[in-house]
Amino acid sequence: MVGISEKIGHTTTQYILLILIMGGVLFFSLRDFLVEPAYWFDEAITIEIARNFYLFGELDILTAPDTFSGVPYIAGTNGYPLTLPLAAFFAVAGYGLAEARIFMLFWLITCLFAVYFVTKKIFGVVPAFAALLLVATFASFYGNGLTATGEIPGFLFFLFALFLAAHKKDYMLAGVCAGLAMAAKPGVYLFLAHAVVLFILLVEQGERVKSFLRFGAGLIPPIIIWILLAFPLSMDTFFSTAVYAVNPLDIPVLRNLFDAPEITNLNTDLIIPSSESALANIQGNILLLLTSSTWVYFLLMSAAVFFAYLVSKKQQTEQRRFMQISLIYGVLALAYFLRGPGWIRYLFGFQILFLILLFPSLTVLKEKIKIYSDVRRHYGFDYLLYIGIILLVAAQTYHLLYLSNVPRSQAALRLVSYTETQARENPALTLGLVNVPEVAAFSDPARIYHMIWLQRTMPPFGKQFFTEGTRPDLVITDGKNFLLGEAGEKILQGEYQETTRFGRYRIYERL
């Protein structure tokens, strides 16, 4: 193992390996750039919000010409650390899905470099390459990272926040990064601030107050910017948001302590209402974790990290601190998942973090086995660890290429191309969209009427576009025609004829 470490330790070898790995990532990412992962609902909303900020200065979606939804905190689950840079990129590079995916590829590559350099700084060169290979062959990394959503930008800030808190002890800058991560994708990185606060409380002996103040000074500005950009300016909203930040599970005991009303004006994708049965959710989600091969894999991985921490008392201080803060975050993330309705995608940060920690943890466990083993020569343990990581990387690569459920579809792209052609041929064409942000993002804002179902617990946003004397030339739905209501459905069936389908999308032309 020492020999292999020395070979990898050479700077030239590291550069060659990095080039090969990043080349493989680029090749895989670009081979079906716009088709896999499929262009989808959330990505389209993010792209439209970035476009609307670029054109109109509004971080919101349009429901009719010159009419915004008025609820950007519900419409956009991906925050300004993603949408504002994306709008700037559109201004420079042009507007389109290809440009959005190229923009996300920059984030993805930057995130991989961050994984490598942070792991190298804390654990060394060999663990850094192991982490890089494990993350680069993980299917969800591409499923989430190549679409215009906030998981990858958020993880970049998330990783820097952990590194700055655990390794550098720079709590102010860690707070800034934590705030940006939480604003980029609140549902995924929601508990980052809570994890850092608990870490300071449990670990920082004698410097807790100073560390709390520094972390808060860094955290609050990016969170305030998020609130100002996305939420209506009212004391009720501000107070509800503050209570939500402290009590994201909406635990009734804590809510009663704050004497706050049940949160109703925030995105319920980010909130777990107390009215839902916590016990039923926990039972169902435990069953989900134990019956999913992916989650059995990650539970075993997290167990290895936990046991390595328990036996790693002689581990270097910065390594132990990084494992401590990671485990605290992992516990909170799992608790949120178990308490909630079971959104696997909200454990994305947990998954990537524990892929990074796997090799260092197995190294610690290997050293403990060697100490308590009667075998005089332990070279087999060293090479067994390498072989194990290589097999895991190979298994993940095979899964990525042949077994992963990264969605692949051209339906939305064909639909967008069809509507663009129709709009060019008929400059006066108007579109009535029913839950189709995929088209709204790439259509003329002056000719779009959009009813969109952002939350299952709420009615659709956007006014009924079948008004007296007003009929869009084309109506496009995603199959959820019931959003039109009984009267709207009667008009659709009586005055329109279905002409084309692209997957689940249906196109109706006015008779």
Average of per-residue pLDDT values in the chain: 87
pLDDT score for 157: 98
Find the helix or strand (DSSP H, E) in which 203 lies.
Answer: helix 192-203
First-residue to last-residue Cα distance in the chain: 74
pLDDT tier for residue 328 given thresholds of 50, 70 and 90:
very high
Q: What is the per-residue pLDDT for 456?
A: 64
444 shares a domain with 314: no
Q: Is residue 252 part of a domain?
A: no
In contact, 476 and 411? CB cutoff 8 Å: no
pLDDT digits (tens, 9 = 90+) for 90-117: 999 999 999 999 999 999 999 999 999 9
Residue 273 has a pLDDT of: 47
State the Cα–Cα distance between residues 11 and 33, nearest whole angstrom.
32
Residues 472, 398, single domain; the answer is: no
Same domain, 398 and 446: no
- Residue 373 predicted with pLDDT over 90: no
The pLDDT confidence band at residue 275, using thresholds 50, 70 and 90, is: very low
Q: Answer yes or no: is 432 within a domain.
A: yes
Confidence of residue 282 (pLDDT cuts 50, 70, 90): confident
Position 479 scores a pLDDT of 80
Kindly indicate the confidence band of residue 346, based on its pLDDT and cuts at 50, 70 and 90: confident
For strands 62-64 and 67-68, give the pairing. antiparallel
- Where is the domain boundary, 403, 427, 457? 403
State residue 57 phi and psi, 5-degree precision: 75, 25
User: pLDDT tens digits, residue range 26-82?
Assistant: 999 998 889 999 999 999 999 999 999 999 999 999 999 999 988 887 777 899 999
Q: Any idea what the Cα angle at residue 501 is, between residues 500 and 502, rounded to 5°?
A: 130
Q: At what angle do helices 192-203 and 317-339 cross, to 10 degrees?
A: 130
Q: How far apart are CA 466 and CA 487, in angstroms?
A: 9
Q: Which of 8-17, 121-130, 342-351, 403-412 has the highest mean pLDDT?
A: 121-130
User: Do 57 and 119 belong together in one domain?
Assistant: yes
489: containing domain: 411-510
Nearest alpha carbon to residue 43 among 10, 5, 86: 86
- Residue 270 clears pLDDT 50, i.e. is over it: no
Residue 483 near residue 434, CB atoms below 8 Å: yes
Can you tell me the mean pLDDT for 314-340?
A: 87
Q: What is the pLDDT of residues 414-426, one digit of tens each?
A: 999 999 999 999 9
- Domain-embedded: residue 66: yes
What local confidence, expressed as pLDDT, does residue 189 receive? 92
The alpha carbons of the chain give a radius of gyration, in whole angstroms, of 25
Q: Is residue 267 part of a domain?
A: no
Whether residue 489 lies inside any domain: the answer is yes
Task: Say if 253 falls within a structural domain.
Answer: no
| pLDDT of 264 over the 80 cut | no
Q: Are residues 308 and 439 in the same domain?
A: no
Question: Higher model confidence: residue 252 or residue 40?
Answer: 40
Same domain, 215 and 329: yes
pLDDT confidence band for 295 (50 / 70 / 90): confident
Asked if 220 and 87 sit in the same domain, the reply is yes
- Number of domains within the chain: 2
The reported pLDDT for the residue numbered 109 is: 97
Look at the alpha carbons of 107, 304, 308, 310 in this order and tell me if their dihedral is positive or negative.
positive
384 shares its domain with 415: no
Q: Which long-range contacts (CB under 8 A, 24 or more apart) does 53-56 make?
A: 53/83, 53/84, 53/87, 54/87, 54/88, 54/90, 54/91, 54/95, 55/445
The residue among 375, 403, 431 that closes a domain is 403
pLDDT in tens, 203-219: 988 889 999 999 999 99
pLDDT at residue number 49: 96
Residue 270 lies in a domain: no
Residue 16 shares a structural domain with residue 136:
yes
- Cα-Cα-Cα-Cα dihedral of 135, 137, 138, 142, to 10°? 100
> What distance in Å separates the CA atoms of residue 254 and residue 268, rounded to the nearest whole number?
18
Query: Are residues 422 and 347 both part of a single domain?
Result: no
Residue 267 — pLDDT band, cuts 50, 70, 90? very low
Other Cβ atoms within 10 Å of 40 Cβ, number:
16
Cut 0.85: pTM above it: yes
Pick from 403, 429, 457: which residue ends a domain? 403
Between these two residues, 378 and 483, which has the higher pLDDT value? 483
pLDDT in tens, 125-174: 999 999 999 999 999 999 999 999 999 999 999 999 999 999 999 999 99
The alpha carbon torsion through 62, 68, 69, 72 (nearest 10 deg) reads: 100
Say if residue 481's pLDDT is above 70: no
Q: Could you tell me if residue 242 is inside a domain?
A: no
Based on the fold, state whether residues 419 and 399 are members of the same structural domain: no
474 with 358, same domain: the answer is no
Predicted confidence (pLDDT) at residue 258 exceeds the cutoff of 60: no
Q: Is the pLDDT of residue 376 over 60?
A: no
